[in-house]
Amino acid sequence: MGIRTLRQAAAIACVPLAILAASTAVRRPPGPPSAEPSPRFQDPLWTISGLKKEIAARKAETRRLQLALGKSGPKKARTGWLEARLWYLEQRAGREDSIDWSKWQAAAEHRDLLPAANFGRPDGPGTESLGARWSYVGPNNLNRPYRRYFGPAPVAGRVSAVAFDPVDSNTYWVGGPGGLCKTTDAGVTWRVLSDRFPVVSISSIAIHPTNPDIVYVGTGDFDGAAPYGTGLMKSTNGGLSWTKVIGTSMIGEAAISAIVIDPDNPNIVIACSGRGGSVGRVWRSTDGGASWSPRLALPNAAWSDLDISLPNASGVRTYYLVGHSASGEFFRSIDQGLNWFEAFP
């Protein structure tokens, strides 16, 4: 065989390798984009809409092959990495179709310019100038079986809610996945008040601004998403007995994540819910919890926080409502929670 013939054979042998390499390059998942501003044309597999179309197309093709080939066809569509990327984008893109990486880069650069934390002093200039000091409250001296697992160290579960008596500074309430507790001696001793609740997990507490015997408590574990909630409880005797004022027939199994009582008219109570297997809503009462109406103009969301501002120069307070999702729900109200509008439309 001559040299020319050998060269022709080698060239022909390289063709399948080149085709295989090109095919592999096409199928390889695209790498992460750079931090430069998004170009006019963007890889569809780095957009939410493009990923949804690709996932739907691959699942449709898999179904077609299953019908055509029967048992010899594919068992399921290979869309796992696409669905993982879709989740990743949905958590970070906000209301956009893709992540603006330049904004993330700017945020990282700003973070690097911030001064390092000083762990040797209280957090913030205000607390230091006021001489604020923090001390451990509890739990203390846990009995068995807790010591068996945690030892004598001050170890506790997550604290989801804290509320303070407006009259007695030694009395406050704490709620968490393990229940609702109350102290009347500034944390020296505690009393559990939720053992007879349908579910002991607590996410929110609100105390009447002038009558501390009236307390609202939201059940469910919003932060952990389990156990589910069973509604909103109310006490009119400082926690000795309880009445359910919002039940699962109204909110499903969502956790009551936040409660606020209007300081000027305590009969107005707003509660929000979310997670826990049910859609979240915002509920409003004008008769101290005897009846409730949903704020249907608001979207269903995993509502996480409610708060009320100090009155402005005209005496008007602003209510703030925040959702716990990637879309960043943020609403406000200036009529005691009756009507809501987006804070940043």
- Please name the residues in contact with 254: beta carbons below 8 A apart, sequence gap of 6 or more: 220, 228, 229, 273, 274, 275, 276, 277, 278, 279, 280, 281
- pLDDT bracket for residue 137 (50, 70, 90): confident
Backbone angles phi, psi at 71, to 5 degrees: -65, -25
pLDDT of res. 150: 52
Of the chain, the percentage scoring pLDDT greater than 90 comes to 44
Backbone angles phi, psi at 221, to 5 degrees: -110, 90
Burial 38-56 (b: 16+ CB within 10 A, else e): beeeeeebbbbebbeebbe
The number of CA neighbours under 13 Å toward the Cβ of 138 is 17
pLDDT of res. 178: 86
d(CA 22, CA 314): 70
Q: Which of 36-45, 131-140, 209-218 has the lowest mean pLDDT?
A: 36-45
Question: What does the pLDDT look like over 241-271, one tens digit per residue?
Answer: 999 998 888 888 889 999 999 999 999 999 9
Fold of 157-342: Methylamine Dehydrogenase; Chain H (2.130.10)
pLDDT of res. 335: 96
pLDDT of res. 103: 84
Task: Please answer whether residues 62 and 77 qualify as being in contact, where contact means their C-beta atoms are separated by less than 8 angstroms.
Answer: yes
Write out the DSSP string of 145-198.
THHHHHTTS-------EEEE-SS-TT-EEEEETTEEEEESSTTSS-EE--TTSS
Residue 147 pLDDT greater than 60, yes or no? no
Question: What does the pLDDT look like over 46-63, one tens digit per residue?
Answer: 899 999 999 999 999 999
- pLDDT bracket for residue 101 (50, 70, 90): confident
Question: What does the pLDDT look like over 266-314, one tens digit per residue?
Answer: 999 999 998 876 778 999 999 999 999 999 889 888 899 999 999 999 9
**Residue 25 in tokens:** 């390059």
User: Mean pLDDT throughout 104-110?
Assistant: 88
Other C-beta atoms lying within 10 Å of the C-beta of residue 113: 6
User: Mean pLDDT throughout 147-155?
Assistant: 53
pLDDT of res. 144: 52
User: Mean pLDDT throughout 96-111?
Assistant: 87
**Residue 190 in tokens:** 């505690």
**Domain segments of the chain: what residues?**
44-97, 157-342
Does the model's pTM come out above 0.95? Answer: no
**Residue 240 in tokens:** 């000795």
